[in-house]
Amino acid sequence: MSRASVSQDKSAVNGAAARVEQVTVLLEELHTLRNRLSDALVGNSDPISLSARKVLQELEKHGPHSVPSIARLRGSTRQNIQILVNRLEAAGHVELIENPGHKRSALVGLTDKGAEMLQCCEAAEEEFLERVASEISSTDVDAILRSLLQMKDVLNRTLKHLPAKRRSREQQPGARARRSKRQASRKQEDSELFTGNSEMEKEEGFPINLL
């Protein structure tokens, strides 16, 4: 193999590694942004997570539903929705109603307290979004949206093969150490900038369906 070919191969490898690093940083930034938005969009004395609020919105829009039905509406898993429903019920935001069509699967209904909570959250969200909209142009919003939709399409195609790809990445020397270092740095940055209620958000993982 000639020196020119070796140089080209090294350049290709370095270029691919640089793109992987760029994508990693991008996804971490999106994840951080999602968590910050989750905190910012809840502005009341009895905060709930963004995912929990979405469940309340589904119940307000569609009426009482079973946990599996809510999971289908949200594009989530039954386990995640069950966790959210349990916490919402404990807080008095939802109630379990007898399901005439399925004795073992109760319906989840919105309570008056839950409806009031939802109104408070939506009012806080509207105020926040108005402030954000005043700081960015329509042109910039369109450009960002196009990029996010493109990334969403790429992720949807790639996620089908994620388990195999993940195993391959884990086997690469230093991959875990580099990722752990980045995550530790990002975690420290988040703790310094925000202290919100995002525990329930983290249970649903990366928000592909929100892009």
- 129 occurs within a structural domain: yes
Compare 187 and 29 and report the one with higher pLDDT. Answer: 29
Alpha carbon 9 to its chain centroid, in Å, reads 37
pLDDT value at residue 96: 95
Chain segment 115-135, per-residue pLDDT in tens: 998 998 888 888 888 999 999
- For residue 3, give the amino acid letter: R
Pick left, alpha or beta for residue 63 (phi over 0 → left; psi -120 to 50 → alpha; otherwise beta): left
**pTM of this structure:** 0.53
The confidence score (pLDDT) of residue 126 equals 87
More confident residue, 59 or 100: 59
Contact 84, 71 (CB under 8 A): no
More confident residue, 158 or 187: 158
Give the per-residue pLDDT at 104.
82
Cα separation, 152 vs 210, whole angstroms: 9
CA 83 – CA 108 distance, rounded (Å): 13
Q: Decide if 157 is inside a domain.
A: no
Average pLDDT value for the chain:
77
> Has residue 34 been placed in a domain?
yes
Least confident of 13-17, 83-87, 89-93, 106-110: 13-17
Residue 75 lies in a domain: yes
Residue 203 lies in a domain: yes
Q: Which of 97-101, 128-132, 172-176 has the lowest mean pLDDT?
A: 172-176
145 lies in some domain: no
Q: Give the tens place of pLDDT for each residue, 125-162.
A: 888 889 999 999 999 999 999 999 998 898 888 888 76
Mean pLDDT of 43-51: 64
Q: Domain containing 176 — which CATH number?
A: 1.10.10.10
Mean pLDDT confidence for 82-106: 91
Calculated CA dihedral for residues 41, 153, 158, 39, nearest 10 degrees? 0
Mean pLDDT of 38-46: 59
pLDDT at position 61: 94
Determine, yes or no, domain membership for 162: no
Query: Residue 120: which domain range?
Result: 23-135+172-210
Is the model's pLDDT at 93 over the cut of 50? Answer: yes
For range 202-210, the mean pLDDT: 42
pLDDT band at residue 169 under the 50/70/90 scheme: low
CA dist list (Å): 45 to 10, 39, 49, 120, 121: 56, 13, 13, 10, 10
Whether residue 199 is contained in a domain is answered as yes
> How many domains are there within the chain?
1
Phi-psi sector, 103: left (phi>0), alpha (psi -120 to 50), beta:
alpha
Span 167-192, mean pLDDT?
A: 52
Q: How far is CA 44 from CA 33, 49, 77, 117, 127, in A?
A: 20, 12, 28, 8, 13
